[in-house]
Each structure stands twice: as C-alpha cells, then as structure tokens.
C-alpha cells in the first residue's frame, strides 16, 4: 500500500527522526508522595511534548512508560527480509557490562521512546505482512503514526501502550502465559512460546458459555477463562441464556438449580479477582434474553441485593442499639444477684426487651446478651455496616461485579406497545413455562433501571439487522461497555481519534487530514490483529477469521462547544453523523483496499451478501434516505445534510461510502467490522480531551494540575473559543470568564470588599491574607476562619469566643453582620459562578452552546435533557459497525416512566444498546445523610426545604458542610482515606467500570 505523508517530511541528512522535527518537547516531573514525604512514585527529568498537560504527562509516565527492564544500551538484530531501520533491538550485554549494575536497566524516560516503540512495532509487523509498497511507504507510516501520537491526535487502547513493542524495542521477553495466535504466514493455530513477541493489544472480548457444568466451553470453564482475562486487565461479556432455568429437567435426572445460582458463582469469582491485586477491577457483562425462564429474577437481582444492603445497614445499627441498651439495663441495675437479669424484677430491662422485640430484634440475641451480662461482661461487640460501595455490606451481597443487560427482540417491544402477552420458554425443548404481560416485564425493567442502574438493554433485532456476518451465527452479546458487538469468542482492539485537532482556525473540519488519519489507523488496527496473541484457542481462531476492528473517536462535545454549536442541536447532530459516516466509510474503503492486496477476511465469501447489504444501508443513511433500507426492522436516523454549514462534510461522507462499496464489491473486505465508539477513559486523558467518546462536556470550569502538585481553576478551554466564534470581543470574553472562574480577590467585590471589611476592624495585612487564600478557594466562607486570620486576632479584634470557633456550624461572615445576599454576590465575584448563566454580555440565545451533562455551579439550572443524549447517539449509530458505549445520566427527580420512555426512544431511533443511571439510585451515593446532623433532627422546616431542593443543590449543600477550606498543596501526596467519612459521591462510568468519586 502507498502511504502519503501529511504531517511529516522525509528525514533530511543528519536528521534522526523527522516525525518530531516540528514538535517541541519539555522536561517534566511526575511523582506521588506519602504524607510523611516518602516517595511512592517519582520520575524526574522525563521528556514529553510541550503541549501535554500535567495530567497527560502523568498518565504517560505512571501508566504507559515501561517501568523496568529497559536496557540502557541496545543493539540491533539483523533480519535479512526487514529494512535496517525496522530491525528490532536487544540489550547490548557488552556495553551494559561497562556500566554500574544499577544503571544497566531502568524505565522509559522519554515520550519518544513510547511513540517509537508503538509506531516501530506496527511498522515492523506491517512490513513482514506485506502491507507496504516500498521502504519509503513504511518510513512514512512510522513517522506519521509517531507524529499523531505526539500531537494527541489519536491513541490506541491501553493494552497497546502496556504490551506492544516491548520485545521489538528492548528485547524484553518472558515465558508464555497460555496464549495462542494464528501464524499470519501459515494460517496455523499456534501456542505462544513468548509473553511479548506477539503482544496482547486487545481490550474487549466476548465469550460463549454452553449449558454444561464442567466440560470445556461450559459454565465452570467460563470462570477460568474470565479469570485469565481479568488477570491481564481485559474485559469480557457473555450471554447466559443457554443455561436452563430453575426447575428445568436435567438429562441425568433431577432439576436445574437455575441461571441465578451460577451467575452468583461467577459474580463471586470476579469479585475475588478484583481483590487479588490485579491491574483493575474485573470488567464483566452478563446478558440474558427476555424469554429466559429466570428473566424476572435476573432483572430484580441488583434491586433485591441493594435492599439487602439497606437491611444490613439499618438492621445492624438497630440491633446494636437495642443490645447495648439491654446490656446497660443489666449492668446498671441495683438489684440483688439474679434479679438484675430477670425482666419481671428489673423494670428497665423489661422496657428495653419490649422495645427490642418491637423492632424485631431476634429473641435469641436478646437472651444471649442477658446471658453475657450474667457472666460479668459489661459490653459486647456487634458489627454494624454502612453503604459505602466497597464496604462489607456490599461485599456480602451478590451481583456487584458485573454490568447486567437484558437482550430484547422487536417482538417483545411490539408486545409492550400492544399490551400483548409474553412467553418465557424452556431452554431445551422451547416449551412455554410461563405467560405474562409484556408490559409487566417492561415495568420491572424500568423500575430496576430507575432504582439500581441495571439492567441496561440490548436491542437484539437491530444488532443483528446490521450484522455483517449473519451466516456465521447471530450476535448474542457484547463486551462490558457494549460498544463491541459481534460473534461469541471474538476480540476487538480499539483506537480513538481526538476530533478537536482537526478543527481549523476558520471553524471548519480539516477533512483531508481526518480521512488520512482514519486510513492509517485502520491499517494499524489490522496489523494489530495480525501480530496479536489471544487468551484462548477459540478467540485466536475467530479473531483471525473475522479481523474485527474498533476505530472510534473522542471529544465530539469539546469540538461542538469550541465551534459555538450546541450539543443539543440539529447542526451538532449533523456534524456528529457526518464525521462518523466519513470515519466508517473511509475505514471500510481502506479495509477493501487491504483486501485487494492481502485478501478478504477468511470467512468473507460465506458472508459477502450480508456484508454488502449492510454496507448499502450505511450508504443510504449517509445519503439521507428515510426509507428503502434492506431488511431492517427499524429504520435509522439518516444524515440531514441541510443541517450542515460545511457541506463538504456531507459530500465526503457520501463519497466515502460510494468508494467503500465500489471497492468492497470488487475485492471484499479485510475486516468484518471497522468502528465502534468507546468510552476513551484513560486514553482520553493522555490526549487531553475535554470530553470522552460521544459525551457532552461536564463542566465549564475545570481544575488544572500543577507540575509540583496542587490545582488552580481555569475556564474550560472550549469556552473562550466558542465565545470568539459567536462574535464576542476579547474584553467581553474576559468579563465572562471572570464571572465563571471568579476574580480571585475581594477587591471591588460587591458587599464584601476592603472598605466594608475595614469598617469591621480588618487591617490591610489581614485583607492581603484573605486575598492570597482566595485564589484557589471554592467559596469565600471557607477562607474567613481562624486559620487564615489567626485565632488570637479573631478573638481579640473581632470578638469571637473559643466556643464559636470550635463549633463546626459557625460561619464568620453572617456573624460579622453580612447578609446572605451580600455573601452570595461577593462569592460569585471572587470564586466565580462556575456557570455562564447570568454572565455579563452573554446573550440568552447562546446559552445552549454551553449546556453540560449536569447543571454547573451553585446557581446553574440548565443541563442537557435525557433526550438530547439519545438523539446524539442516534445520529452516530447508523454509521458505526458496532455500537456506542454510553450511559444516559438522569437527574434524581427522573421517574420510572422517564426510564421506560428513554429505553423506548432508544429502540425507536435504532440504537443497538443503552444504559441509564439516575443520580442517587445507588445506596452508596448518599444525597442528604451528611446534612441531617444529629443536633438538627428537630428542625423539620430546614429538612423539608433540603429534601425539596434539586439533587445538584443538595450536593452543593452537602459539600459546603464538609469543606472547611481549600489549600493548594505544594506536593502531590498519597493520602490514605479514613475508615469512615461523610461526603457526596458521584458515579462515573469509565471503560465500563463504575467509579464513585
């Protein structure tokens, strides 16, 4: 294949690497310290591209740099059939022997080492596989890839950073870990002899499970296969619908214990792997078809387990309270001998026993504590539980280690619409075991998703209508994040394009550069299939046969905001659709181009008609057709070209699909799938993306990390660019920014400023101290305290007492006589509104541009609707081979009906999958526990006002109760969390893993 240079120039005489000729690099420090100052991690004097933020530099240094075994001296290993610039390297033992032993091996210290390791390995395997026309094409390929990595244009999934190139670049090797690969030159399935020669670059797996207890491919074998994937940080999904339901007959006699009994074993196994010191929590997806006999139990699984947690937490505290009261009644009794332990003679004991029985404390426990007291003990231990997501209460219950999804076919959803019946059938003979109303099951799904954030839904008919390889079998499952949907026992490796660098200064998209990037990274992912090893024979074979790829993008939210276009707008959705259509069209045309040179994927001929039908449907959507689709139960949302200002986007989208089909009809395709939209968690950080995957932005004010530790507030970088695009002057932009971020001092603040403070007795010195502390403060009230001003001065000059200063609820500003109105106005001036609502100069019609996933700041009211998320997904879905990983965030006030409507809309707009998360739907996210302090129990009015407030406002109130002050740290310290703390918890989903922040 010919490889064009777009970003780089060929090496000149005396020039080592042209890829970095135009890129500035800087020295950086990355470290983590313990509170006592001891260093946990430190890499000093590392080299990173100058444009990398401290966060991106930290991700590179702490996660992606190889930390050990990198030789300080290398030598090339000559290979006759490989150009010298692609020869692999090994340790130069003779040169290493001249160095002190401690200096011979170490860590990667330069980002260029990582970029070269990746780009060089891909090019090396590409050369061996015959992907390049000439050495110049191979050099161009390597340089272009290195440039794109260094300029944060693209990033592969994390396993590539971890594993790819260690053998090629440094000669690092190790014993085989039980992996397999298909030899690309002989087509023979081969057991790996090396841990690194063939890297494992795949992150996403789908595995089958048969209705067999102990044989290969069966239930217990799946737990072993899952454990192997979890150990190396990969995720896996399986459809368990082949397993018989509870009570179904077994071939050897007896009855099945049912699906749920085995899911609980798998859940325990995944939980054990999580706690076993592996790379990350087990990432696991469990899918069950809607006609399974145990589907109702599956839907209710997490709801019931959450109820158990509530019971454990509440019950343990009630029991402990009563048992302690009974013990106290026995111990404090003034009667004689056994009289104290007889409720007929000890009225206090009788009263406490009655109270305990009333609260359903088990009688044997009541009797036990009395016996204990009779033996002379004065206290007893009784463990209580809390709702922390990683607490013993959650560890005790099941179902916490997987994402659960129900697979629905269209006949079920139509039965819901028609209020029809739905049948649950036996797994072996198809006999109807139960008939219920489809709407009753739908109600269960809606309530469970509303109450516990599970299950998500797979729209199975739509998934299979767009299946390129239907002749090979149906799509039944997905990876844990639900973006990769294909045959069982296959794997996908991902890469994501950062869209923002492709926006030109005039606001248009550099389409040629974007298409060039898509083409090269399609080749990268194809080469990755060729060079990879896999954790099982089946996955190695099928991944070789179908060669599925997962190219995607990130930062669509950042791109739209920067361009002054609302996320929830027809134009925004059209841009998303066009960029997605171009990406997948170019990816498939590149796949067909590779097929012309290297052959189509091995099982293409059997699936050619299906694949070309799917390609034509993609093209119809790119042309904006509303009907005429082939064999689709639900028509997709097509690209509406008239909504685009840059008409070239629609033209290139149509041209890309024309070329993809033209080449595919002639040569076939090298890959059965080409694209997905993944969550882009860690790789989004290394690319400094404002937004991940297809997500909108989440905040208008963010916190920038400092090289030596600490943070400071900055406006989201998309905001000033958006304001310029919308026509605001630089002075207006500065005022709008200051409104959002704050001025950082009290000078000229309304209500509370140097003049009003001096009238209260403040000196210039104390005002300067306040201003210094306010630079990084969230709220001015956290700075007005004895630590900023000095306890002695506060008592002597301002007249506050020790009792006031030691009271957690004491606030100095109201005590000084400032009104709430004054405090709020000054707070916005100094610390910023954290939103653009109410900003000076900003026109009301421009506010939608700055809408985020949740309301911003204390006073922010606006946020994107539930429907806007689904509509954006629907705009992209017709142009994606797989699906879109996204969780629809719903406000706490959302109803069960809202949940059902969101799922129904997702189906009608031809999405393949969706999941919901309602704010506060997990017990581990307390909304108001911290605010309702013990001494406020009788303040009913305050409590009612709090409960009536929106969830975001409640979160702010909780935060205000917790935070005393903000101090900018000079060093990054590792701080061990206390065993118990009060706080507001926000759930995020990254790479399919639920994280509570």
Contact 146, 5 (CB under 8 A): no
Contact 327, 367 (CB under 8 A): no
H/E element, 498: strand 490-498
Compute the distance between CA of residue 60 and CA of residue 70 in angstroms, rounded to an integer: 16
Using alpha carbons, select from 370, 494, 433, 434 the residue that is nearest to residue 884.
494
Compute the distance between CA of residue 593 and CA of residue 597 in angstroms, rounded to an integer: 7
Alpha-carbon separation of residue 888 from 620, 697, 873, 899, 917 (angstroms) = 28, 14, 10, 10, 6
Q: Is 747 a catalytic residue?
A: no
Sequence length of the chain is 997
Contact 37, 978 (CB under 8 A): no
Alpha-carbon separation of residue 275 from 270, 271, 280 (angstroms) = 9, 6, 9
Q: Is 831 a catalytic residue?
A: no
Under the phi-then-psi rule, with left for phi > 0, alpha for psi from -120 to 50, and beta for the rest, what region is 162?
alpha
- Among residues 306, 483, 538, 695, the one annotated as catalytic is 483
Q: Which residue has the tokens 């606006």?
A: 862
Using alpha carbons, select from 565, 588, 584, 585 the residue that is nearest to residue 575.
565
- How many Cβ atoms sit within 10 Å of the Cβ of residue 133? 12
Compute the distance between CA of residue 918 and CA of residue 924 in angstroms, rounded to an integer: 13
- Among residues 346, 479, 555, 753, the one annotated as catalytic is 479
- Among residues 481, 492, 576, 831, the one annotated as catalytic is 481
Q: Which residue has the tokens 């040169």?
A: 95
Contact 66, 108 (CB under 8 A): yes
Which residues partner with 675 through β-bridges? 551
Alpha-carbon separation of residue 886 from 33, 473, 495, 988 (angstroms) = 35, 26, 17, 11
Compute the distance between CA of residue 122 and CA of residue 168 in angstroms, rounded to an integer: 10
Compute the distance between CA of residue 990 and CA of residue 885 in angstroms, rounded to an integer: 10
Q: Which two tokens stand for residue 153?
A: 């244009």
Q: Is 479 a catalytic residue?
A: yes
Q: Which two tokens stand for residue 150?
A: 């260094």
Under the phi-then-psi rule, with left for phi > 0, alpha for psi from -120 to 50, and beta for the rest, what region is 706?
beta
* DSSP state at residue 18: G
* CA triple 840-753-826, angle to 5 deg: 40
Q: Annotated active-site positions, please?
A: 479, 481, 483
């Amino acid at each position: 294949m010919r490889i064009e240079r777009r970003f780089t120039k060929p090496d000149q005489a005396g020039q080592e690497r042209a890829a970095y000729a135009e890129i500035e690099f800087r020295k950086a420090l990355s470290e983590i310290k313990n509170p006592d100052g001891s260093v946990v991690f430190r890499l000093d004097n590392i080299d990173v591209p100058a444009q990398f933020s401290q966060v991106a530099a930290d991700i590179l240094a702490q996660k992606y740099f190889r930390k050990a075994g990198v030789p300080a001296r290398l030598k090339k290993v000559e290979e006759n059939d490989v150009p010298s610039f692609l020869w692999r390297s090994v340790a130069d033992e003779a040169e290493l022997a001249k160095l002190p032993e401690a200096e011979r091996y170490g860590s990667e210290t330069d980002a260029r080492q990582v970029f070269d390791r990746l780009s060089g390995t891909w090019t090396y395997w590409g050369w061996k596989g015959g992907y390049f026309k000439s050495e110049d094409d191979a050099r161009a390929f390597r340089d272009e890839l290195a440039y794109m990595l260094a300029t944060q244009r693209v990033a592969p999934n994390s396993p590539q950073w971890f594993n790819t190139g260690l053998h090629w670049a440094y000669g690092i090797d190790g014993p085989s870990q039980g992996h397999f690969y298909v030899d690309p030159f002989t087509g023979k399935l081969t057991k790996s002899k090396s841990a690194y020669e063939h890297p494992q670059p795949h992150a996403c797996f789908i595995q089958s499970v048969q209705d067999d207890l102990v044989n290969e491919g069966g239930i217990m074998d799946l737990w072993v296969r899952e454990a192997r994937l979890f150990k190396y940080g990969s995720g896996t999904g399986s459809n368990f619908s082949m397993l018989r339901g509870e009570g179904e007959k077994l071939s050897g006699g007896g009855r099945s214990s049912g699906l749920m009994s085995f899911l609980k074993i798998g859940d325990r196994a995944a939980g054990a792997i999580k706690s076993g010191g592996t790379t990350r929590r087990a990432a696991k997806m469990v899918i069950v078809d809607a006609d399974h006999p145990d589907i109702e139990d599956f839907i209710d699984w997490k709801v019931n387990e959450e109820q158990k947690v509530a019971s454990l937490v509440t019950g343990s505290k009630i029991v402990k309270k009563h048992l302690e009261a009974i013990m106290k009644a026995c111990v404090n009794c003034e009667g004689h001998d056994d009289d104290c332990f007889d409720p007929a003679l000890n009225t206090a004991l009788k009263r406490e026993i009655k109270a305990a029985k009333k609260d359903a404390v088990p009688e044997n426990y009541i009797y036990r504590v009395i016996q204990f007291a009779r033996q002379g003990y004065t206290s007893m231990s009784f463990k209580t539980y809390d709702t922390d997501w990683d607490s013993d209460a959650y560890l005790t219950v099941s179902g916490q280690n997987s994402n659960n999804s129900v697979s629905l076919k269209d006949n079920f959803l139509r039965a819901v619409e028609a209020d029809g019946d739905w049948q649950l059938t036996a797994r072996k003979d198809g006999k109807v075991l139960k008939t219920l109303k489809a709407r009753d099951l739908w109600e269960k799904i809606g309530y469970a998703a509303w109450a516990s954030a599970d299950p998500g839904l797979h729209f199975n008919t739509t998934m299979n209508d767009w299946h390129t390889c239907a002749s090979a079998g149906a799509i039944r499952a997905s990876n844990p994040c639900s973006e990769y949907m294909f045959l069982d026992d296959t794997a996908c490796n991902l890469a994501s394009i950062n869209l923002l660098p492709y926006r030109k200064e005039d606001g248009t998209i550099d389409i040629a550069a974007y298409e060039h990037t898509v083409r090269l990274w399609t080749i990268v992912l194809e080469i990755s299939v060729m060079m990879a090893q896999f954790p099982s024979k089946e996955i190695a074979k099928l991944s070789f046969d179908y060669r599925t790829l997962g190219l995607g993008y990130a930062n669509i939210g950042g791109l739209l905001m920067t361009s002054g276009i609302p996320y929830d707008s027809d134009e925004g959705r059209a841009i998303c659709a066009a960029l997605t259509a171009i990406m997948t069209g170019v990816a498939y045309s590149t796949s067909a181009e590779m097929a012309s040179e290297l052959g189509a994927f091995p099982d293409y001929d059997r699936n050619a008609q299906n694949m070309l039908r799917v390609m034509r449907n993609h093209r119809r959507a790119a042309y904006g057709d509303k009907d005429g689709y082939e064999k689709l139960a639900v028509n997709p949302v097509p690209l509406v070209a008239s909504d685009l200002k840059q008409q070239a986007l629609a033209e290139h989208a149509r041209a890309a699909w024309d070329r993809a089909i033209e080449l595919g009809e002639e040569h076939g395709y090298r890959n059965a799938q080409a694209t997905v939209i993944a969550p882009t968690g860690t790789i989004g950080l290394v690319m400094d993306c404002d937004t991940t995957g297809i997500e909108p932005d989440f905040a208008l004010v963010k916190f920038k990390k400092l090289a030596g530790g600490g943070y400071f507030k900055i406006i989201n970088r998309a905001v000033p660019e958006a304001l310029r695009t919308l026509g605001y002057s630089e002075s207006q932009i500065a005022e709008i920014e200051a409104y959002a971020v704050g001025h950082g001092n009290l000078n000229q603040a309304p209500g509370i400023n140097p003049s009003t403070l001096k009238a209260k007795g403040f000196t210039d010195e104390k005002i300067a101290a306040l201003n210094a502390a306010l630079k990084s403060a969230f709220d001015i009230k956290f700075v007005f305290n004895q630590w900023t001003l000095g306890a002695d001065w506060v008592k002597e000059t301002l007249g506050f007492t020790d009792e006031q200063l030691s009271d957690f609820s004491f606030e100095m500003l109201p005590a000084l006589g400032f009104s709430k109105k004054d405090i709020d106005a000054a707070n916005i001036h100094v610390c910023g509104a954290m939103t653009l609502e109410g900003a000076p100069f900003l026109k009301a019609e421009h506010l939608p541009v700055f809408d985020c996933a949740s309301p911003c700041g204390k006073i922010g009211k606006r946020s994107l609707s539930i429907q806007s998320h689904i509509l954006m997904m629907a705009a992209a879905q017709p142009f994606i081979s797989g699906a879109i990983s996204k969780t629809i965030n719903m406000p706490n006030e959302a109803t069960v009906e809202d949940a059902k409507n969101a799922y129904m809309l997702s189906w009608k707009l031809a999405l393949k999958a969706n999941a919901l998360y309602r704010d506060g739907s997990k017990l581990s996210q307390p909304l108001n526990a911290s605010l309702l302090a013990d001494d406020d129990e009788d303040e009913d009015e305050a409590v009612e006002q709090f409960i009536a407030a929106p969830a975001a406002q409640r979160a702010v109130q909780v935060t205000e109760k917790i935070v005393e002050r903000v101090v900018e740290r000079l060093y990054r310290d590792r701080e061990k969390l206390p065993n118990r703390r009060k706080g507001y918890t926000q759930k995020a989903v990254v790479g399919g893993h639920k994280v509570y922040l």
